[in-house]
Amino acid sequence: MHSRKPGARRLIGALKAAGIERIVLSPGSRNAPLVIEMPAHGYEPEVIVDERAAAFTALGMARRTGKPVALVCTSGTAVLNYHPAVAEAFYSQVPLIVISADRPPYRIDRGEGQTIRQHGVLAHHTARSVTLPLDGEGEETPGLIAEALETAFTRRLPVHINIPFEEPLYETGPAPEEAPLPVRTQPEEPPLPDTDLDRLEHTWKQARRKLIIVSQLSPSPVLNSQLDRLAKFDDTVILTENLANVRSPRLLGHIDRLVFPMDEHSWRAYAPDLVITVGLNIISKKIKFLLRAVPPALGHWHIGTTPLRLDTFDVLRYHADTTPEMFFSQLLFRIYDSEPSSDYSRKWRELAAYRARRHEAFARTVPPGDWYLYHVLSQSYAGPGIAEWGNSTVVRYAQLFDFDPHLIHYGNRGTSGIDGTLSTAAGTARASDLPVLAVAGDLSLQYDNNAFWAGMPANLKVIVVNNGGGDIFRFIPGPQQVPGYEKYFVYRREGPFDRLAAHYGIPYRRVKAEGNRETFARAIREFLASEGPGMLDADTSAVPNAEILRAYFDFLR
């Protein structure tokens, strides 16, 4: 049977016709017509009560599959709880289709329950935001639905479809014959015009020190091959972050290991005259500081189909609104015979080799704690698999280490918030056959423990870095000068992780960072090798982790 609301039939039917495979639903009443229509089109939605957790779960699914995922909620504040994940999806270019049921327009601001101003409430962080006519009646409804869905597919960004329903909500009946909506689902990869390429080729050949920084991206064998080819040039250096998901011996990883010990003076020996960024937001604050302090003379190019001009270093000269693969295929065709003599690549490789030796020397003596935890993970967590890194210190520590090249790395770096870390990982695990390891701080896990409300996927493991609060505030300069900073910034609080795990039926282990390195490392390795889901509480709260990290960066010099 079908809902008697034409808007529900048209909307869910359009999702099916467009090839949407996954729907995440939060229960309610006003969205009943949509719920009734889902099984009529073969959908069995993932039901997650907490809308914030639901939205981050959908984010993880969409990022992993590369396909839009639909979110469906009832009216009122339910849709507001989607906003953190929608903002993350906007800045990370993940396609979500938010569908919110609404009250009739004439009931808004008249004291009706669960009624707020829903029209355009997510407009700042969506590529398209529409409100359909009441019950989806009206000839404009199909066009509005098609336009929103096409935007999600072709621009790979979140969209919002708000649909008001009049009571009664639960009536069903046979569906009339309705033609499926035609929806364009293939994103465009527009080539650059020759006039742009002429200018870019001239600047490229003029530059003698080219620095390419690759940040958050989905794995791409084509781009990997292109970057490997570019890295053969003596005047070109390619720095990558783990979340870039590109690997080659010619590419230089762990950016902060290379540049964190530098000041503006020492940076000048390595500073580029042209910087090119590929991907989304860069994690390393130090590389951003250095490139702003010593601006490249030939400016900055950014490559990627983002709705934003990412003028990260305040010297953006060109934004290539196309895919990195398209850009580099066109550029490489132009510069294949360009082989200028330069020592730029050699200088960076010598630096990388020196820093690697210092890194390994530090690893041989460092006591158990946060730093050593990531060292053990880098040596023990092997692919194929997925690593979901939490924000704050977690994702920054991870950038310092070499991981198995068969791992895929994810993190919510669009907005860089701690909310939704575990829900996103749960969504990733639900949409993948690969094992998923989520690493999150103690506050992040408590903040998002509703991630496990709908059950923990069998292929998901979680490591809680239990270092006694927001440890980054013990490291960065500034907070320590404020009286009571441990209370107001760090917020040290003993996490009841054993009781939390028991509440959700998650197998739980605990290891405490004490004097014996091998005992600590063995517990981590045994947890990674265990069958099924689980939570490891890595208690490093008694360790001066911030002091060890400062000592590490000093040791690298």
User: What is the bridge-based pairing of β-strands 2-3 and 172-173?
Assistant: antiparallel
The CA distance from 179 to 190, in Å, is 31
The pLDDT tens digits of the residues spanning 411-421 come to: 999 999 989 99
Q: Give me the DSSP letters along 530-549.
A: SSS-EEEEEE-TTS-HHHHH
Rg of the Cα atoms in the chain = 25
pLDDT level of residue 185 (50, 70, 90 thresholds): confident
pLDDT exceeds 80 at position 486: no
pLDDT of residue 470 exceeding 60, the answer is no
Domains assigned to the chain: 2-172 (3.40.50.970), 194-344 (3.40.50.1220), 365-555 (3.40.50.970)
- Rounded Cα–Cα distance for residues 359 and 51 (Å): 43
Average pLDDT over residues 213-227: 96
> What pLDDT band is residue 478 in, cutting at 50, 70 and 90?
low
What integer pLDDT is reported at residue 182 of this predicted model?
A: 81
Work out the mean pLDDT of the chain and round it to a whole number: 93
Taking phi over 0 as left and psi of -120 to 50 as alpha, with beta for the rest, 540 belongs to alpha
pTM for the model stands at 0.94
Tokens (6 digits) for 211 = 């620095």
Average pLDDT (132-153) is 95
SS3 118: coil
Q: Which residues of 13-32 are buried (b: 16+ CB within 10 A; e: fewer)?
A: bbbbbbebebbbbbebebbb
Cα separation of 151 and 161, whole Å?
12
pLDDT average, residue stretch 211-237: 96
Res 490: pLDDT: 47
Number of other residues whose CB lies within 10 A of the CB of residue 191? 12
Q: Which two tokens mark 534?
A: 């689980």
Angle at 149 between CA 147 and CA 150, to 5 degrees: 65
**Residue 360 corresponds to which amino acid?**
E
Amino acid at 62: A
- Of residues 175 and 423, the one with the higher pLDDT is 423
Extended strands (E) in 447-519? 460-466, 508-512
| Measured distance CA(499)–CA(485) in Å, rounded | 28
